Amino acid sequence: MSEKVIKESQPRVHYDCTKCLAFCCSIYERVAVTKRDITRLGKHFGVSAAEAKRRYTTDRDGERVLKRVKDVVFEETCAFLDQKTRGCTIYHGRPEVCRSYPGRSRCAYYDVLRFERTQQDDENVVPQVKIIFREDEAEA
Ligand code: SF4
Ligand code: SF4
């Protein structure tokens, strides 16, 4: 979840969002937003928080989340992902959860991507990662 720029002040990390397809913006069905996130979104777009909430978020099982759209790489992705560059189009207005992700020095999805591309000796390979919950599996 990056603007594709690693700032000097950030701690050293072992992943490179500029070389990633934004698994984090795509494979999680919910990108939760708080009131503060919605206010920030509104400021970013120059609209009221109420308008930002209506335009850019939706209710998913009682949780307020960013809207999603069909994706060219994964099944769906965040409505704010640039599907060509795979970068965030609202970097300075993005929610807190995006700012803190992955919250450690490694990104597991980046590791999988690198592993598979090395394994296949092909820089075009994209592992199709999907998160499911066992309850959903049992219901299917
Ligand atoms: S999945 Fe990891 S490496 Fe890829 S964009 Fe997200 S944080 Fe960056
Ligand atoms: S707001 Fe930006 S960083 Fe967050 S999920 Fe959407 S595209 Fe990714």
Query: What is the rounded CA–CA span in Å between residue 77 and residue 93?
Result: 17
> What is the pTM (predicted TM-score) of this model?
0.89
Residues 64-80: what's their mean pLDDT?
98
Taking the CA of residue 110 as reference, the ligand 1 atom at the shortest distance is 3
Ligand 1 pocket, mutate which of 5, 23, 112 (most atoms under 8 A from CB): 23
pLDDT of residue 137: 59
Closest CA to 74 of 136, 17, 131, 2: 131
- Quick: pLDDT tens for 12-32: 899 999 999 999 999 999 999
